[in-house]
Amino acid sequence: MTADLSARLRAWRHHLHRHPETAFAEHATADYLAGELEALGFDVARGLGGTGLVASLTRGTGDRAVGLRTDLDGLPITEVPGREHGSVNRGAMHACGHDGHMAMALGAAAVLAEEGGFDGTVRIVGQPAEEPGRGAQAMLDDGLLERFPLDVLYGLHNLPGLPAGHLHVRPGGIMASEDNFTIVVHGRGGHAARPEAVVDPLVAGAEIVLALQTVVARNVDPVRPAVVSCTGFETDGARNAIPSTVRITGDTRSFDPQVQELLERRIREIATGVAAAHGATAEVTYTHEFAPTVNDPEVTARAVAAATAALGADRVVGDCDPILPSEDFGVFARHVPACFALLGNGTEPGRGGTPLHSADYDLNDEILPAGVAFYVAAVRAELPAG
């Protein structure tokens, strides 16, 4: 990595960090990315999935195409002040490191454009709205794969808690699905002094929350990871009034479609059954927000070899444990052979160890060259020249 490219990486990353935009509003971000890629010689198409883009560069005569996907959006979080390159858009912040992901994609684009070393087409896929899990499908709906065919797609995400610049990956499920549920329990409210005259949805709701904790422990195969979390409990009652309605919200995480189906079925059965036992009723809404991110085994094997060559065997784990957060990349991986990796951001607070989605998070600039090296090695492995 030359000093010039290292400086460019930091400049790209800091500019993007200063100007975050949230889902489907990444207009200036897309303008900036498109301008930099066009300056490198890429052909850029805009407007896929709203604010998404695809930048393509062909060398040689090869007919295969490899995609490098980067996410564009920040989060609706106000950044802790005092950072030199801090957000100038109050209420928006790159608290998940998408600024760094874009800088890595630009760095890989620069190396490939200026040095070549591949035979075929490389495409930078700039995806909007990763955070709410809507951008990947929006790009597909706009004809991404019909207009810009891909033989393989790569992506990565920084991960605080892993050593800086270490790459972890695995074949199969690496990041979980996310499903959301809302349970509305209907009873009959009344005076708190006369509980015998009401149908108390609060007691029924409390029992539902507790009963849902048995789903993973008693219904899911212990070798299949899953999580059921209740995250909200609201009533329409008052201090001296038993409520008529209780609203429970939460989410589930899993890697297997069969487990997803099981979780939904048991949540519905438990909610309606417990409510009925109390003389109440329950309505359950269950939505699928993120697909699990499942890596193609053959692509992952090539990714491990490329990462090992680029970073060294001591910095690559090819069969890491899966993690339960979700990633919109999983939608792409249902349609294209794909590999998604986790790149360590550091373990110490202030040097990459601050958790994602925190108001004081910042991507560790020291990991930018590792992301570029991995992407370049992966493209050249997929599209060998000569």
Active site residues: 73, 130
Report the Cα–Cα distance between both ends of the chain, in Å, rounded.
Answer: 24
**For 368, phi and psi rounded to 5 degrees?**
-55, -45
For the four alpha carbons of 114, 117, 118 and 119, in that order, the dihedral sign comes to positive
Please tell me what DSSP assigns to residue 345: E
Tell which residue, 227, 235, 240, 179, has the closest CA to residue 205.
Answer: 235
CA dist 350 → 90, 361, 365 (Å) = 22, 8, 12
Residue 286 CA neighbour count, 13 Å, CB half? 17
What is the DSSP code string of 148-195? S--SEEEEEEEEETSPTT-EE--SEEEE-EEEEEEEEEE-B-EETT-G
Neighbours of 265 (CB within 10 A): 13
The span from the CA of 74 to the CA of 368, in Å, is 18
Q: Which residues are CB-contacts of 116 (< 8 A; sequence separation ≥ 6)?
A: 59, 385
Q: Is 343 helix (H, G, I), strand (E, B) or coil?
A: strand
Strand partners for 339: 154
The span from the CA of 196 to the CA of 176, in Å, is 45
Helix 368-382 to helix 98-115 angle (10° resolution) is: 50
- Identity (one letter) of the amino acid at 40? L
Binding-site members for Mn(2+) are: 96, 98, 131, 157, 357
